[in-house]
Structure 1
Amino acid sequence: MSAAARHPDKTLRLATLRAMGALDTRAEPLFDALVRSAAAASGRALALIVLVDADGHGLAVHAPAPDIDEPSVLRVLAKASSGVLEIPDARVDPRCADDPLVVGAAGIRCFVAVPIRRGESAKAGALCVLDRAPGTLDERQHETLRQLARAVAQALETRPVARRNNLVPVGAAPSLQPPLESAGETERKRRANEALLERTGRLLDAGGWELDLATNAITWSDQTCRLHDVPPGFHPSLEEAVSFYDAVARPVIDAAVRKSIDTGEGWDLQLPLTTATGRKIWVRAVGILECAEDGTPQRLVGAFQDITLQRRAILALEASDRRYRKLFQYSPGLICTHDHEGVLLSVNPAAARSLGYSVGEMIGRPLTDFMRPERRPYFAEYLLRLMREDSDAGMLQVVAKDGSEHVWQYHNVLDDDVDDPYVLGHALDVTERFRQESQLREWSIHDALTGCFNRRYLAELTAGPAAGWGCIVFDLDHFKQVNDTHGHARGDEVLVAMAKFLRGHVRPQDAVIRLGGDEFLVLLRGAGEELTQGVVDRLEADRAAAPIGFTMGATTVVPGASLEAGLGEADRRLYKAREGRPKRAP
């Protein structure tokens, strides 16, 4: 099926094109300036005006890039609606995912088409902007493109009149030309077109210019004058026009002009400029060469656009990127990025040094490679929290190349504003601090003499959630006589030996606590009456191995009951046992 056959309004569209005198349109400075303005306004890399002739072939007033063929352009244009067509990412849009423009060498991702109309009649074509990166335009950019499309339509409408004055070669049959217009009507349309271009220039903050190569006379549009802070109608000399550019930019624009005259190539430059009032701005300077029919260069025409804000934004972004890279490279903090599965995408030198690796040895590996197996389930929970909350903070235990364990205190953030979300991680190696804090805690809950837990640890247990316990309290018999007879050094030896004796009769998860003086407590974690009584029986059977005689009282505390109440009951039973049995002499 031909490209033309795919358009249901083919007859009306072709009549519109003929009425506009557009079927023989060639690339011209006005249209070239319009599409350049469209590209600048939209921030897209490519712009073109596509019309359709009687054979269904597309004709680009401003030729696209060499790898964009006309049939592909027309296939996408055929899908345009009566309004603005915008495809943010053509690769995932079913209307054009398989179009050669998308899957071919052009690699187009973003596509916007604005219809070109004559009044309310059918489309004659479209003003299109394209880019190889995905994206969308805002409403202000849409409105600017609509204004430019109207300017294209008005420019096309004036072509038949220009033909009758032998200004443009005639390419369509005389019978297809519209009725003659009066000189007044032609002047009205010309002024309306100029007014539209002026409004468009204001929207884009852009103006036009022209240099007659025979006389060196320069003409500036009113908007160009405003950009230079000179009154509208100002006509500078060639030297004055060049003098507005900063000294470093003058050789650049001079070389571009000479090359254009020699080769016919245009230019599109971003240069610093100082206005008549001393304002420092950046401008986008665009120019092309126009020649006579015999190829003799006649004039240079082009446009200016104030891009100071865009330039500042780009420079600020570049400066920010440089600062981030320096921070990443030289920060003593540990910085990395990883994907949603925990695979490292980047690691700064400080993080690699912390674990004894090179950067290259870490990138591309999951963080779980640097964790002990029993810690990896906690990392999976971390990833889930991060994806749910967009950030997470805490402690991460990692293993260095030499097998030593390190503790990283991290605060990580998910960045999902890009196509491939990633996690930006920042951490501090708090291994030494963690060790010191652990040591201080150990000291705070342990008895310095016996190594048993102390009353502070007991207070933490009673303040925590109620659990099941087996409780056995001990009181050493005649311990005061040991101190009085043999001295406190001997008394300390007895206490240390008694602690060792008790630890030898309990499990690793149980706690031996020195309550103070010659009082001890054994807490059997999760023990019921049977297990508690078994420990009591073993202690009773091994009394002869104890360094000193002792009296004990035992009870059990069920989950949810008060541990303090259980200890009180164990004490009561201890006193009862003391009263009921003879004491062993020291």
Structure 2
Amino acid sequence: MPPAPFRPDEARVLAALQALQVLDTPAEPMLDALARAASIACGTPIALISLVDAERQWFKANVGLDGATETHRDLAFCAHAVLGTEVMVVPDARNDARFAANPLVVGDPGIRFYAGAPLRLKGGETIGTLCVIDRQPRQPDEQQLALLGCLATAVAGALEARVASKQVEAAVREMAWAAMVLEHSADAIISLDADLVVRRWNPAAERLFGYSAAEIIGRSASVLAPAAERAGQQQARNRAVVGQAHTYDAVRLHKDGSELPVSITLVPEFDEQGHVPTATLFVRDTRHHQRALANSAAAAEMMRRHYEHTPLMLHVIDASNRLVMVSNRWLDALGYQRDEVIGRPSLDFLTPASREKAMRQGLPTIRDTGRIDDIELQFVTRDGRVRDVLLSAIADIGPDPQAHLVVAGLQDITERKLQEAARRDSEDLLERTGQVAGVGGWSLDVASGRIRWSSETRRIHGVDAGYQPQLENAIEFYAPESRPLIQAAVQTGMATGAPWDLELQLLRMDGRQIWVRAVGAVEFEDGRPLRLVGALQDITERRLLDQRLTDKRLALARSNDELERFAYVASHDLQEPLRMVTSYGQLLARRHADGLSAEGREFLHYMVDGGQRAQALIRDLLSLARLGSEGRAPVPVALEQVLADVLQPLRLKRQETGAHITHDALPVVTADPVQMRQLLGNLVGNALKFTGARPPLIHLGAQREPGHWRISVQDNGIGIEPKFFGRIFVLFQRLHLRSEHEGTGIGLALCKKIVERHGGNIGVQSAPGEGATFWFTLPDTPPSSEA
């Protein structure tokens, strides 16, 4: 079973998968709902959102494969599906050379059917699949494949949207924090240009020096320094020009002329050419020097890092609406150089619609109230692209209205807008998919009690397109006997977060009663229920089919019971006449053989041999018939003792053939002890029977696997061609003439029935001339019921 090759762009795909930050994260209701929708649409018990990592496939959503979170990539069907762009369909994995020997096919969970739709990101990376799985072979129709592809597109969009949402939220929090620090900092923060002219002045600077922003901005910072320190002030600015940030102690002047001992941290601000047109001073009052000394350097460093790495887009405009200052982030976002924008009207960088909105709404609001919050505008980048932003601004108005400045912060919400559009597209796609698949969606807002139904949900209920369900009467659509079930499921979901998947009876608006599958889950925020979401599907026809199948199974079970009883009685009644024929034939051979001709003795031999073979066949048939009717209740059985009991009567056979039999430490299992002796006796007997020229080497192995023991009987005999593997477990199927190897053709069929009665599986691995390994599994817990 060769593993799937790597994707041609494997490194790029793995980088994109890591960037989604989705691996090993908790389940998410939206993605779980999409996986469940795929299960319902394709009619399979299993649906997975599988992400193919470097060495594994990990399940972000899992419907029907309880307890599984990942498998090795070498075993993954999805590792093959991601190599293409269309839905990969495997109708029967046993007939596909890629998967016929796959442990997931030959063992648990017994995959037969698989269909996987690739999950492709916008950049073209195929990170995994939305796949559906069944334990029975099947062939999906074109509509189901189209639905699976649509749902895979929705899953990929949802995965990318969740990343964009997190990035936007983080940027918003960072911007709000930066603005808060600047506004409420206990340290004075002052920005100076190359000529030591003050350009920015925060509230802490006003409190420290006594000057308002309007009084000081635009004036030389030398007004703050005593004459003796002005030379040092210029030297510090010169150090900033060559990019040297440093902290020093100094004396500065209050507005009233008093001296202030301060600690100053000077941080250069670089432009695109690497020059330092401005520098920022973080000034701390050190009159309480001993108390503040320990914290000053750390605070200054924190502010410096924040200033350098802030995500804010900032610009400042003057009274004529021309740009006088922009941040590096502003320039990066819009693709301009600083000398291209300074002095130009800020309105030049807006779309025509946003320019009109700013002139009609934004600028008048700032002039009247001094600020504006979260006005949505569209800026145009240098290469013509449009960026959506939220703009908030504060007007800094001094004594001269013509000299006032407006400081604006811009939050780029382009990705959020794209995410909202993608979400709307996804909702539209889900609505259309639901209509095609016959699956309706619904949601309930816990706070408001508002219920939303999709058009398909309204169709299932038999109401018109404008019908709006109310929380008070929505339960009345369920039949009286179903109401307690759905109410209990919702209450449990609200309390514990457990989803529900129920089959209930629904009363349509026209009075007709139908069966529906009701699936739902509760979404939480900060530990409180926020929203209930779910899906509804009309399963009336399926329930009718299930009932017909149940009736047919019961009839078949009764027929099998009657047939089993008939086989038992018939086989039992045949024993006596066959015993008489064989016994008298043997007596005749012993007492009168000399009086018979050679031909008579030959006929007599055939008669006795035929009778004995018929008796053996009847004994085996009786054993097969008694499995269900006379089987004992399971008890702890030591397989080591069972093996010893089996080998005792085979002692002569082992000596004749020179057989060497070894075994691992065999476990104690819960089973029928008589049937365990039959099982091991048949398998060890076959290993001694089907030998070649070499002395038989037989080894019994035991391996514990999740949920069961795997017991194997390995020999070095003649082997079996793989094409006969399925045939040898069928009743009366023989691969050799009786003259070559004796037997009735019932032994392996008996083994298969014993193993299945105990809730296990049986199989064989072999090749002609290379021996055979027969294996079977037994649960390590008692079976729930007898077959």
Q: TM-score of the superposition, structure 2-length normalised?
A: 0.39
Kindly state the Cα deviation for residue 78 of structure 1 after the two structures are TM-superposed: 1.3
Partner of 1:530: none
Kindly state the Cα deviation for residue 347 of structure 1 after the two structures are TM-superposed: 7.3
1:303 to 2:560 alignment? no
1:267 to 2:525 alignment? no
Within 2, Cα distance between the matches of 1:107 and 1:156? 30
Within 2, Cα distance between the matches of 1:28 and 1:259? 18
Within 2, Cα distance between the matches of 1:140 and 1:247? 36
Contact 2:58 2:71 in 1 (8 A): no
Which of 461, 477, 482 is the matching residue for 1:228?
A: 461
- Match of 1:44, SS state, is coil
Match for 1:237: what amino acid? Answer: Q
- Match of 1:71, SS state, is strand
- Match of 1:316, SS state, is helix
Within 2, Cα distance between the matches of 1:316 and 1:104? 31
Q: Residues 299, 362 of structure 1: CA spacing in aligned structure 2 closer, same or farther, 3 A cutoff?
A: farther
- Match of 1:79, SS state, is helix
1:78 to 2:79 alignment? yes
Instruction: Report the aligned-residue RMSD.
Output: 4.2
Kindly state the Cα deviation for residue 205 of structure 1 after the two structures are TM-superposed: 0.8
Match for 1:106: what amino acid? Answer: P
Within 2, Cα distance between the matches of 1:275 and 1:365? 61
Match for 2:568: what amino acid? Answer: G
- Match of 1:236, SS state, is coil
Match for 1:148: what amino acid? Answer: L
Partner of 2:158: 155
Structure 2 runs not aligned, ≥5 long: 174-310, 312-386, 388-411, 582-617, 619-725, 732-787
Kindly state the Cα deviation for residue 296 of structure 1 after the two structures are TM-superposed: 2.5
Q: Residues 363, 240 of structure 1: CA spacing in aligned structure 2 closer, same or farther, 3 A cutoff?
A: farther
Q: Residues 185, 214 of structure 1: CA spacing in aligned structure 2 closer, same or farther, 3 A cutoff?
A: closer
Within 1, Cα distance between the matches of 2:158 and 2:521? 19
Match for 2:441: what amino acid? Answer: G
Partner of 2:569: 361
Which of 111, 114, 117 is the matching residue for 1:114?
A: 117
1:127 to 2:127 alignment? no
Kindly state the Cα deviation for residue 115 of structure 1 after the two structures are TM-superposed: 0.7
Contact 1:220 1:233 in 2 (8 A): no
Kindly state the Cα deviation for residue 198 of structure 1 after the two structures are TM-superposed: 0.8
- Which deviations, in whole Å up to 9, do the C-alpha atoms of 1:241-294 show, x marking residues without a partner? 11100011001111111222233211111111011222322111001122223x
Partner of 2:394: none
Contact 1:269 1:286 in 2 (8 A): yes
Partner of 1:63: 62
- Match of 2:40, SS state, is helix
Contact 2:502 2:518 in 1 (8 A): yes
Match for 1:224: what amino acid? Answer: T
Within 2, Cα distance between the matches of 1:169 and 1:217? 29
Which of 138, 144, 152 is the matching residue for 2:147?
A: 144
Contact 2:515 2:540 in 1 (8 A): yes
Kindly state the Cα deviation for residue 186 of structure 1 after the two structures are TM-superposed: 4.1
Bigger Rg, which one: 1
- Which deviations, in whole Å up to 9, do the C-alpha atoms of 1:39-85 show, x marking residues without a partner? 111111111101245x5443322136345351346632112241222
Partner of 1:547: none
Q: Residues 69, 22 of structure 1: CA spacing in aligned structure 2 closer, same or farther, 3 A cutoff?
A: closer
Within 2, Cα distance between the matches of 1:182 and 1:126? 25
Contact 1:109 1:131 in 2 (8 A): yes
Contact 1:347 1:363 in 2 (8 A): no
Match for 1:59: what amino acid? Answer: W
Q: Residues 121, 45 of structure 1: CA spacing in aligned structure 2 closer, same or farther, 3 A cutoff?
A: same
Contact 1:90 1:97 in 2 (8 A): yes
Q: TM-score of the superposition, structure 1-length normalised?
A: 0.51
Contact 2:57 2:72 in 1 (8 A): no
1:209 to 2:208 alignment? no
Kindly state the Cα deviation for residue 107 of structure 1 after the two structures are TM-superposed: 2.6
Within 2, Cα distance between the matches of 1:233 and 1:364? 73
Within 2, Cα distance between the matches of 1:136 and 1:248? 37
Within 1, Cα distance between the matches of 2:55 and 2:517? 36
Q: Residues 123, 422 of structure 1: CA spacing in aligned structure 2 closer, same or farther, 3 A cutoff?
A: same
Contact 1:4 1:57 in 2 (8 A): no
Partner of 1:44: 44
1:9 to 2:9 alignment? yes
Partner of 1:196: 429
Within 2, Cα distance between the matches of 1:197 and 1:248? 31
Contact 1:4 1:10 in 2 (8 A): no
Q: Residues 317, 106 of structure 1: CA spacing in aligned structure 2 closer, same or farther, 3 A cutoff?
A: closer
Partner of 1:101: 104
- Match of 2:479, SS state, is coil
Match for 2:520: what amino acid? Answer: G
Partner of 1:562: none
Partner of 1:252: 485
Contact 1:271 1:284 in 2 (8 A): yes
Contact 1:72 1:99 in 2 (8 A): no
| Mapping of residues 71-470 of structure 1, within 5 Å | 71-72=71-72, 75-80=76-81, 81-82=83-84, 83-118=86-121, 121-166=124-169, 181=414, 185-232=418-465, 234-293=467-526, 295-321=527-553, 324-325=555-556, 346=560, 348=562, 358-362=566-570
Partner of 2:34: 34
- Match of 1:141, SS state, is helix
Q: Residues 49, 248 of structure 1: CA spacing in aligned structure 2 closer, same or farther, 3 A cutoff?
A: same
Partner of 2:689: none
Kindly state the Cα deviation for residue 348 of structure 1 after the two structures are TM-superposed: 4.2
Higher relative contact order (CA 8 A, sep 6+): 1
Kindly state the Cα deviation for residue 365 of structure 1 after the two structures are TM-superposed: 12
Within 1, Cα distance between the matches of 2:129 and 2:572? 47
- Percent identical pairs in the alignment equals 40
Q: Residues 89, 9 of structure 1: CA spacing in aligned structure 2 closer, same or farther, 3 A cutoff?
A: same
- Which deviations, in whole Å up to 9, do the C-alpha atoms of 1:284-315 show, x marking residues without a partner? 1001122223x223322111111122222222
Within 2, Cα distance between the matches of 1:22 and 1:168? 20
Q: Residues 50, 137 of structure 1: CA spacing in aligned structure 2 closer, same or farther, 3 A cutoff?
A: same
Kindly state the Cα deviation for residue 137 of structure 1 after the two structures are TM-superposed: 1.7
Contact 1:161 1:181 in 2 (8 A): no
Contact 1:23 1:52 in 2 (8 A): no
Kindly state the Cα deviation for residue 103 of structure 1 after the two structures are TM-superposed: 3.8
Kindly state the Cα deviation for residue 139 of structure 1 after the two structures are TM-superposed: 1.9
Contact 1:72 1:100 in 2 (8 A): no
- Match of 2:58, SS state, is strand
- Match of 1:166, SS state, is helix
Within 1, Cα distance between the matches of 2:469 and 2:170? 28
Q: Residues 72, 278 of structure 1: CA spacing in aligned structure 2 closer, same or farther, 3 A cutoff?
A: farther
Structure 1 runs not aligned, ≥5 long: 330-335, 337-345, 374-400, 402-418, 424-586
Kindly state the Cα deviation for residue 148 of structure 1 after the two structures are TM-superposed: 0.9
- Match of 1:116, SS state, is strand
Match for 1:246: what amino acid? Answer: A
Choose 213-222 or 12-21, whichever is displaced more: 12-21
Q: Residues 67, 109 of structure 1: CA spacing in aligned structure 2 closer, same or farther, 3 A cutoff?
A: farther
Within 1, Cα distance between the matches of 2:110 and 2:573? 32
Kindly state the Cα deviation for residue 236 of structure 1 after the two structures are TM-superposed: 2.0
Within 1, Cα distance between the matches of 2:42 and 2:127? 22
Contact 1:289 1:299 in 2 (8 A): yes
Within 2, Cα distance between the matches of 1:241 and 1:77? 41
Contact 1:264 1:288 in 2 (8 A): yes
Contact 2:55 2:72 in 1 (8 A): no
- Which deviations, in whole Å up to 9, do the C-alpha atoms of 1:379-427 show, x marking residues without a partner? xxxxxxxxxxxxxxxxxxxxxx9xxxxxxxxxxxxxxxxx99999xxxx
